[in-house]
Amino acid sequence: MGLYNRNEIIVTETGEGNFTQSIRMGKHIITADEPEVVGGNDNGPNPYDLLLASLGACTSITLRMYAIRKNIPLKTILISLDHQKVDDEDVIHCILYLGGDLNSTQKEDLLRIAEKCPVHKTLEHSSKIKTTLGAKKD
DSSP per residue, 89-116: EEEEEEEEEEESS--HHHHHHHHHHHTT
What pLDDT score does 3 carry? 55
- pLDDT for residue 37: 97
Question: Which is more confident, 121 or 130?
Answer: 121
Interatomic CA distance for residues 80 and 94, integer angstroms: 6
Contact of 7 with 27, CB cutoff 8 Å: no
Q: Report how far residue 84's alpha carbon sits from residue 63's, in angstroms, rounded to the nearest whole number.
A: 24
For the whole model, what pTM was predicted? 0.87
Domains belonging to the chain, first-starting first, are 9-38 (no CATH), 47-124 (3.30.300.20)
Mean pLDDT computed over every residue of the chain: 92
Distance, in Å, from the CA atom of 34 to the CA atom of 38, rounded to the nearest integer, reads: 7
Per-residue model confidence as pLDDT tens digits over 3-50: 555 679 999 999 999 999 999 999 999 999 999 999 999 999 999 999
